[in-house]
Structure 1
Amino acid sequence: MAKKRGIGIACTFYGIGYGNGFPDVSTALVEIHDDGSVTVRTGAADCGQGSNTILAQIAAQEIGVPVEKVTVVSADTDATPDAGTTAATRQTYVSGNAVKLASRKAADKLLEFVARELGVNTIMGLKASDGYITVLGYPQKRMSIAEAATRARLQGVRLVGEGTFIAHTTKLDENGQGAPYWPYAFGVQIAEVEVDTETGEVKVLKVIAAHDVGRAINKAGVIGQICGGVAMGVGLALMEEVILQQGNILNPSFSTYLIPTSLDIPEIEPIIIEDPEPTGPYGAKGVGEPATLPTAPAILNAIYNAIGVRLTEFPATPERVLRALKAKEKGGSQ
């Protein structure tokens, strides 16, 4: 039988943030305007992973306005505070916490003003949601956030909050021991492949990807991250390879450096595991890089399960698969 199928599994754990004692800091500024809209200023660069959406949702939740009323100004060195790099799966956790802190400070300033206006002796007696601030137990007594913000400004109260979050990390000691990261993301993926033993071609049929994200603030975004990570993992496993000759890249374009197209991507079943992280914004952690890490190992394990040869080099091109099969037939090792 020319085509054989196999199933492989791989697990991952991944430290969120820079780690190893390296300073991991993000600062955000949040301002509530007269019309009830909100501006978030953050240095966090949204490269397509959706951090702007997440940060807008966090600000909207803290202040009590619809997310459509929130504008995120990001990655502008002239107008935004430093948030560190968009790397290490850190922005939801680190900058999310910074935005949450800044939003809370701005919201509390508004609540303190409204408490005086409505004759409430503590902001604990107020609730902000859906664009209104309401007296608990007396919902008829309320004020819109837009009206409250306008009144506050006319009385010289500027509704701005600044928040800085520093991720916990310690440097490893001289023996390589310590707690370099906090928190960790966890995941497991199962891949099903079909290997053509005559051509060496590997086709990934399905990937089941389960990832602990702490809490999914935006489930559609998390699913997108998981599926995108799997797609990149498929590329690593089967086709992406930089070919060097005396320091020169021989395949510098997408005509020779192959990446997966939509036709190469298997069926992906994302599974979101929510185990809230106490130190994360609403329990959230990151899911960027962890979604890529287990895919290629799971695929190589599935190839081994299908044809009984262990590939130890990426990518698993048809040529390498055929060489491994021939070595097996000759009684050699790959």
Structure 2
Amino acid sequence: MKKRGIGIGSIFYGTGYGNGFPDVSKAVAQLKSDGKIAIYVGATEVGQGAKTALSQIAAEVLGLSVDDIVFINEDTSITPDSGTAAASRQTYNTGNAIKLACEKLKRDILEVAKDYLGLNSIVGLTLKNGYVYPKTLPEKRVSLGEISESLESSLKEEAVFTAQTTEMDEETGQGAPYWPYTFSACGVEVEVDTETGRVEIIRAVLAQDVGRAINPELIEGQIDGGFAMGAGYALYEDLKIEKGKIKNNSFTNYLIPTSLDMPDIEKVIIEDPESTAPYGAKGIGEPVMIPVAPAILNAIYDAVGVRMTEIPVTPEKLLKAIKEKEMTYNEGKN
């Protein structure tokens, strides 16, 4: 017999290292000879879309397209330390560092353009699409390439951003260990085969607080990937450690969800801009994964009335739990 159930899971998540650990990102912005802007950060791209989102932040500050940003990272010989690609911190931390560096560089560019154009102030000067010009006289302009050519050395600025975090009080457990926090909720419907113990996810919805959606398409990709990881955590992935040795040490027996195991996910992007974030954006790398397993376990309970407390919920484990419940029920009747 197949039974269906619905479950919900919700979480809050503090981004960054937290608990008073130094959470620092550095960034360098430089005007290149061809008029493009080079961004130097030690921000590792691990598939989360950091290069794209962080380039967008730089482009927004400088009124350029992403194609005008040369993003240089993952080379410790020429990039400043921007911290790890962990704790969902890169968009917020390194994004802030990039924004600060680009704002400083923009002011430098406007100062040079002021002299180049024979103006007495940078007030009213606009930097857009690679040109600097007074708002009231757009035809009086100079390109970033021309500005760069007029200089003996390139314009370059560095900025540092440190996230707010304090260590928890050991006596009271109180403190402000993280900033900012993000929130997400997941709902799933599952179908449980009571004869085999197999759980199938029928449909799902995941709502994620992103602060500000710098790139909605990347966010939706993060939600898809996070849901798959959460589903694998809940139903499939079992290292099976015995006497300190991993038994399932290959993808032959260490199962992960495939596209056939994934439902169509309704993705809900919640925008509530964070005032301390670059254009309001917060990191969501891990938060999109965390509520998935609780939602699935709650849905299993709703379907068959069995509360599973150990994951992954393999067919063998669930079938055993269902049979134990039936035995307890029958014994109670007798």
Short-chain TM bin = over 0.9
Letter in 2 for 1:253: S
* Aligned-partner Cα distance in 2 for 1:188–1:120: 54
- Unaligned runs of 5+ residues in structure 1 are none
Structure 1 position 12 matched with structure 2 position 11: yes
| Equivalent residue for 1:229, pick from 222, 226, 230 | 226
1:173 to 146, 169, 175: 169
RMSD: 1.2
Pairing partner for 1:214 from 200, 211, 215: 211
C-alpha separation in 1, matches of 2:175 and 2:215 = 33
Please state how far the C-alpha of 1:115 moved relative to its aligned partner.
1.5
1:139 CA drift (Å) = 2.0
Contact 1:36/1:65, CA 8 A, preserved across alignment? no
1:158 corresponds to which letter in structure 2?
S
Alignment partner, residue 25 of structure 1? 24
Verify the 8 A CA contact 2:168 2:176 in the aligned structure 1: yes
Q: 1:320 aligns to what?
A: 317
Aligned length: 328
CA distance in 1, matches of 2:15, 2:312: 27
What is the CA-CA distance between 1:157 and the residue it aligns to? 5.0
Aligned to 1:330: 327
Deviations 1:49-108 (A, max 9, x none): 110111111111112221112111112111111111110000000000011111111111
Separation of aligned partners in 1, 2:123 and 2:212: 26
Structure 2: segments with no counterpart, 5+ residues: 330-334
Partner of 2:159: 163
> 1:147 corresponds to which residue?
146
Mapped to 2, the partners of 1:63 and 1:161 lie a distance apart of 13
Within 5 Å, give how 1:55-134 maps onto structure 2. Answer: 55-134=54-133
Q: 2:189 aligns with which of 189, 192, 195?
A: 192
CA contact (8 A) 1:33 1:150 kept: no
**TM-score normalised to the size of structure 1?**
0.96
Looking at structure 2, the residues matched to 331 and 202 of structure 1 have their Cα atoms a distance apart, in angstroms, of 22
Contact kept? 2:63, 2:127, Cα under 8 Å: yes
Structure 2 residue identity aligned to 1:310? R
Q: Which residue of 2 aligns with 1:272?
A: 269
CA contact (8 A) 1:73 1:80 kept: yes
Following the alignment from structure 2 to structure 1, what is the Cα–Cα distance between the partners of residues 3 and 121?
Answer: 69
**Which of the residues 277, 301, 306 maps onto 1:304?**
301
Could you tell which deviates more after superposition, 49-58 or 125-134? Answer: 125-134
Once the two structures are superposed, what CA deviation does each residue of 1:271-305 show, in whole Å capped at 9, x if it has no partner?
11110000000000001000000001001101111
- Verify the 8 A CA contact 1:133 1:144 in the aligned structure 2: yes
Contact (CA 8 Å) 2:228, 2:257: kept in 1 or not? Answer: yes
The answer (yes or no) to whether the contact 2:33–2:154 under 8 Å persists in 1 is no
In the superposition, the TM-score normalised over structure 2's length comes to 0.96
Distance of 1:120 and 1:200 partners within structure 2: 76
The CA deviation string for residues 236-282 of structure 1, in whole angstroms up to 9 with x for no partner, is 11100111111111111111111111111111111111100000000
Identity of aligned pairs, percent?
Answer: 54
Distance 2:207 2:174 in 1: 29
What secondary structure is seen at the aligned counterpart in 1 of 2:139?
A: strand
2:149 and 2:2 map into 1 onto residues whose CA distance is 70
2:274 aligned counterpart, secondary structure: coil
Query: What is the CA–CA distance in structure 1 between the aligned matches of 2:276 and 2:15, rounded to whole Å?
Result: 12
SS of the aligned residue for 1:187 comes to strand
Deviation at 1:9, TM superposition (A): 0.4
Please give the alpha-carbon distance, in whole angstroms, between the structure 2 residues aligned to 1:134 and 1:273.
37
Residue 149 of structure 1: CA displacement? 2.3
Instruction: Give, in whole Å, the separation in 2 of the partners of 1:124 and 1:274.
Output: 33
| CA deviation after TM superposition for structure 1 residue 134, in Å | 2.2
Give the Å deviation of 1:33: 1.1
Secondary structure (helix, strand or coil) at the match of 2:138 reads strand
Distance in structure 2 (CA, Å) of the matches to 1:275 and 1:59: 21
Corresponding residue of 1:241: 238
Counterparts of 2:121 and 2:323, CA distance in 1: 78
Q: Runs (4+) of structure 1 moved beyond 6 Å?
A: none
Tell me the SS of whatever aligns to 2:205: strand
Instruction: Tell me whether 114-123 or 66-75 shows the greater mean CA deviation.
Output: 114-123
Q: Which residue of 2 aligns with 1:39?
A: 38
CA gap 1:124/1:227 in 2 versus in 1, 3 angstroms = farther
- Please tell me the residue identity of whatever aligns with 1:165: F
Partner of 2:48: 49
Contact kept? 1:107, 1:159, Cα under 8 Å: no
